[in-house]
Amino acid sequence: MHLCEVVRTRPVTPMVQRVTLGGCGLAGFPAVGADAFAYLLLPPAGRSELTIGLDFDWAHVRSMAKDERPRGAYYSVRHHRPEELEIDLDVVVHDDGIAAGWAAAAAPGDKAALWGPRVLFRPPADAAWTLLVADNTAVPAMLSILDHRPVDHRVVAVAEVADDAEVRDVRPGPCVDLRWARRDRGERAADVVRALRLPPGPGYAWGGGEHAWVQELDALVADVHGIDAERRSLTSYWRRNQPTGLR
């Protein structure tokens, strides 16, 4: 558990707000891997101070009175600068989101905490290439995976976003085939993935996004490209019309 506070914020795209967290509590935040994610814990509604401390545990949270309970959600570590004790989270701002609403209004000095980190990106040692699929919520993790990859490792990355304004200005480097599907043009990640010719040899598929979207892509990766379960890690990041964050 790492207590921290907002250092600064800035928009990355019209839908994505970068929140930079910092402070002494981030000393010792471990570098666990490419798609590191942590639970962002926030003060209860209408409060500015956290109601949890370094002894935080989930069983205790469940027994807390509702107006004392922290709020929050999982977020990926887009950048970790251990020498500055800073972490960037890229938060998709959407309607009715507690964590998203907090990020949209966050100001320097606002209190927060990070529980974690953990990883889901665990390619087998013999993976000759990697397929990445992401909706806007998993683009931060996808770009972090690209930042961490060996320069000669082949990657096919497919991101589905709302429109041109959500496409990130990144230069992924050699050996990476990065494709953006823009929904306002009728483009879908599923169609791109279905039509892919993947490199030869054993691979690994990673992905994140909305629950039903991820399920469709997981089935495609398995059925069309024949990637076995132990070589796939596609995770539901959120569910349409269903809160998953602590509220």
Ligand X SMILES: Cc1cc2nc3c(=O)[nH]c(=O)nc-3n(C[C@H](O)[C@H](O)[C@H](O)COP(=O)(O)OP(=O)(O)OC[C@H]3O[C@@H](n4cnc5c(N)ncnc54)[C@H](O)[C@@H]3O)c2cc1C
Residues forming the site for ligand X (CB under 6 A): 37, 73-76, 90-92, 94, 96-100, 137, 140, 237-245, 247
Least Cβ distance, residue 64 to ligand X (angstroms): 17
CB-nearer residue toward ligand X: 129 or 238: 238
CB-nearer residue toward ligand X: 5 or 166: 166
CB-nearer residue toward ligand X: 10 or 197: 10
CB-nearer residue toward ligand X: 140 or 203: 140
Least Cβ distance, residue 93 to ligand X (angstroms): 8
- For residues 240 and 212, give the distance between their C-alpha atoms in angstroms, rounded to a whole number: 8
Buried b (16+ CB within 10 A) or exposed e, 142-177: bbbbbeebeeeebbbbbbbbeeeebbbeeebeeebe
The arrangement of strands across the sheet holding 203-210 comes to 176-182, 154-161, 129-134, 203-210, 232-238
Token digits for 217? 């892509």
| Greatest extent of the chain over all pairs of C-alpha atoms, in Å | 55
- For residues 4 and 2, give the distance between their C-alpha atoms in angstroms, rounded to a whole number: 6
Least Cβ distance, residue 242 to ligand X (angstroms): 5
Least Cβ distance, residue 104 to ligand X (angstroms): 10
Q: Which residue of this chain has its Cβ atom nearest to ligand X in the complex?
A: 97
Using alpha carbons only, give the angle 117, 123, 236 rounded to the nearest 5 degrees.
55
CB-nearer residue toward ligand X: 33 or 202: 33
Least Cβ distance, residue 3 to ligand X (angstroms): 20
